């Protein structure tokens, strides 16, 4: 099995075991990058959507992609209430 497919094979377990990111991380990224309100961000390797959801909650539009179809399925479910997110993968 290729390494890039590893997480997709255990996507449900990964989603339940993976700790979230601290909100301060996203505040630091915003400050460092000088992001404009409602900027459109590209997230490469969105996995199960933990960062995607946090970024979208801050009001940004997110185009998220991942090569793992099961990871993207879980990410879509976790962000179903967010109209500012689109997934590819």
- pLDDT given for residue 62 in this prediction: 98
Mean pLDDT value across the chain:
93
Whole-structure pTM value:
0.89
CATH code for the domain of 49:
3.40.50.150
Strand order in the sheet with 61-65: 40-44, 61-65, 85-88
Taking 60 as the threshold, does the pLDDT of residue 74 lie above it? yes
Residue 29 lies in a domain: no
Is 41 contained in some domain?
Answer: yes
Q: Is the pLDDT of residue 1 over 60?
A: no
Q: Report yes or no on 28 lying in a domain.
A: no
Report the chain's terminal Cα–Cα distance, integer Å: 19
| Domain ranges, residue 54 | 3-17+36-88
Number of domains in the chain: 1
3-7, 26-30, 38-42, 69-73: range with lowest mean pLDDT: 3-7
Pairing of strands 85-88, 40-44: unpaired
């Amino acid at each position: 099995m290729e390494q890039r497919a590893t997480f997709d094979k255990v996507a449900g377990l990964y989603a339940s075991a993976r700790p979230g990111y601290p909100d301060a991380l996203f505040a630091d990224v915003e400050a460092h990058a000088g992001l404009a309100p409602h900027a459109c961000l590209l997230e490469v390797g969105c996995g199960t959507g933990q960062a995607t959801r946090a970024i979208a909650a801050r009001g940004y539009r997110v185009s998220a992609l991942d090569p793992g179809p099961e990871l993207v399925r879980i990410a879509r479910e976790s962000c179903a209430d967010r109209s500012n997110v689109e997934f590819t993968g």
